[in-house]
């Protein structure tokens, strides 16, 4: 015999979906199991290093999701195809001083422009979707 999980009334009809006393649902409906991740699409991450003149100029290492993927020399542009979603990006100088870390969801093609800050010695980054250029 089945009992209502809400009011405790014993049910006479074993095939009943709702309690005869309180009307509560007696059986959990079969729900499709959610997928671990929604289907994703591929986007393009564009990295651009501004042209700057320095006495000593080293490239910037680009680390995408923990993997070194490029070395940006001044004026360089590189493009990577990645699945849409959260990504961790680190841009650093070879000596590792003042790296720039970006952890964000990327859902569309995106430009990441980097430059060396002459005052702090750190790396400045501007990030914007390619459908809307930055406003200065």
Q: Kindly calculate the radius of gyration of the chain based on its CA atoms and give it in whole angstroms.
A: 27
What one-character DSSP code corresponds to residue 34? P
Pair (48, 2) in one structural domain: no
Q: What is the pLDDT of residues 66-123, one digit of tens each?
A: 999 999 988 899 999 999 999 999 999 877 678 899 999 999 999 999 988 888 888 9
Contact assessment for residue 80 and residue 44, using Cβ atoms and an 8 Å cutoff: yes
Residue 119 CB neighbour total at 10 angstroms: 5
Pair (20, 69) in one structural domain: no
Pair (20, 73) in one structural domain: no
- Give yes or no for residue 35 having a pLDDT over 60: no
d(CA 115, CA 127): 12
Pair (51, 15) in one structural domain: no
**Structural domain harbouring 6:** 1-31
Pair (46, 24) in one structural domain: no
CATH number of the domain that residue 82 is part of: 2.60.40.2890
Do the domain assignments include residue 9?
Answer: yes
Tell me how many domains the chain contains.
2
Pair (50, 105) in one structural domain: yes
Pair (5, 55) in one structural domain: no
Do the domain assignments include residue 79?
Answer: yes
Weakest-pLDDT range from 3-12, 37-46, 116-125: 3-12
């Amino acid at each position: 015999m089945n009992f209502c999980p809400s009011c405790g009334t014993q049910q006479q009809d074993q095939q009943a979906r709702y309690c005869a006393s309180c009307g509560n649902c007696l059986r959990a409906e079969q729900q499709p199991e959610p997928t671990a991740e929604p289907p994703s699409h591929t986007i393009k991450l564009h990295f651009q290093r501004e042209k700057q003149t320095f006495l000593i100029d080293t490239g910037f290492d680009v680390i995408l999701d923990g993997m070194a993927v490029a070395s940006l020399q001044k004026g360089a542009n590189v493009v990577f195809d990645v699945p849409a979603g959260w990504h961790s990006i680190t841009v650093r100088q070879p000596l590792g001083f003042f790296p720039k870390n970006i952890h964000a969801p990327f859902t569309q093609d995106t430009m990441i422009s980097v430059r060396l800050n002459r005052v702090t010695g750190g790396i400045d980054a501007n990030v914007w979707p390619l459908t809307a250029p930055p406003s200065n």
